[in-house]
Chains A and B, each alone.
Chain A
Amino acid sequence: MSHEPHSPPPIEAAAGGHAHAAVHPAGDQPLVGHLVPMTTLVVTACALLVLTCITVAVRYMDIGEFNIYIALGIAVIKASLVALFFMHLRWDRPFNMIVFFGCVLFVVLMMGFCLMDTSQYRHEQINGNPPLVAETLLQNAPNAPVGRFDQ
């Protein structure tokens, strides 16, 4: 890789939303490292820890169905924090941010729809190991561990 030495352009310019990379002078920008202030990293790490504690606390509080949604919500927030600060998405091009949150949205939609669906048909599910299924499984897959649920 060849490059002429020059001072790296300020980070803000990189995130400025220009249509073209070519507006910047040649050369790699040091995007990783000392540019994120240590305090920011420490604060983010603390936030992650606090969120983890909240998840655990919620787990011990019995609030039924909402548990899972709160836990998933916190997981999304944590993933976003990691991406934004540890992975420098916060200072990256806006397109990457759009893509990232677009994906989060799709994943949330997918999960939301599937969870809505499974909770709707849960009453149809046969409790315990459906005996007929167990028998077939024993035949088709002799090593399948179905015995324990047999009533």
Chain B
Amino acid sequence: MGRLSRILHLEWDGDTRDAFSDSHARFQAGRMGMWLFLITLGILFASTIFAFVVVRLQPDPATGWRPTDEPGIPGILLISTAVLLASSWTLTRASAAIVGDQRRQGRQWIERSLILGSLFLVLQAVGWIDMWRAGVYIDSSLYGWTFYVLTGLHAVHVLGGLIPMGVVAARARRGTYSRLSHSGLTYCSMYWHFLAGVWIVLYLTLWLGSM
């Protein structure tokens, strides 16, 4: 192994310092770590939504929460919601296919999820442009501020999920995943389902809040 490659793989000492006795134990630990990570993110999103709720509940009586000249939540977000849920669904299919030892289908389902996930981001961007065109800016009112900040925060996490999903897709293409060894896919889909769940709550909050 070359010097650079050793550095990049963090295997300078010649080992990965794997403390687990077997891959099953490692997988169990990985799942637990993933759960803790998702809980961390869940609390992060919950507090953001909650902060939104608190300021939403104390609107200015003179102007209300949403200024009358500003439109509600863009309708395209409904489509993006459907797309995100669909990508969650295709990822479920991917896991099922891999577990059923149908590697080719598994690979296809992962790629579909990747495409749907990217489509979601595109639709979110369209939603932002809609709002922007309608004259809702991040600094025009708390309504606009919360819209951009909350959707933006979620979009950043989706973006952060697409990268590992791309890695998973590449590995699936190489045939890395088998019936018994697909921990990467499992972690990825845990994260992805989580993001879908967060989005449903977030979207509803924003939508109810805009009324």
Give residues in A with beta carbon < 8 Å to B. Answer: 1-3, 5-6, 8, 21-22, 24-35, 41, 48, 52, 55-56, 59, 68, 71-72, 75, 78-79, 82-83, 86-87, 92-93, 95-96, 99-100, 103, 106-107, 110-111, 114-115, 118-119, 122, 125, 127-129, 143-145, 148-149, 151
Q: Which residues of A contact B96 (CB under 8 A)?
A: 32-34
Can you name 15 A-B residue pairings with CB atoms under 8 Å? A5-B180, A31-B31, A33-B100, A34-B100, A59-B208, A78-B197, A78-B200, A79-B197, A82-B194, A82-B196, A82-B197, A87-B197, A93-B28, A103-B43, A111-B53
Chain B's nearest CB lies how many Å from the CB of A113? 11
Partner of A103, one of B29, B42, B181: B42
Q: Which residues of B contact A107 (CB under 8 A)?
A: 43, 46-47, 50
How many residue pairs, one in A and one in B, have C-beta atoms under 8 Å apart? 163
Given known contacts A3-B181, A5-B180, A32 and B189 CB-to-CB distance under 8 angstroms: yes
Q: CB within 8 Å of A: which of B7-36?
A: 21-25, 27-29, 31-32, 35-36
Given known contacts A25-B24, A83-B197, A107-B43, A96 and B32 CB-to-CB distance under 8 angstroms: yes
The DSSP consensus for interface residues of chain B is helix
Partner of A99, one of B22, B39, B181: B39
CB pair B208–A71 under 8 Å, yes or no, is yes
Give residues in B with beta carbon < 8 Å to A. Answer: 21-25, 27-29, 31-32, 35-36, 38-39, 42-43, 46-47, 49-50, 53-54, 57-58, 60-63, 67, 88, 92, 95-100, 139-141, 179-183, 185-186, 189-190, 193-194, 196-197, 200-201, 204-205, 208, 211
Q: Which residues of A contact B204 (CB under 8 A)?
A: 52, 55, 71, 75
- Distance in angstroms between the alpha carbons of A144 and B139 in the assembled complex: 7
- Distance in angstroms between the alpha carbons of A132 and B208 in the assembled complex: 32
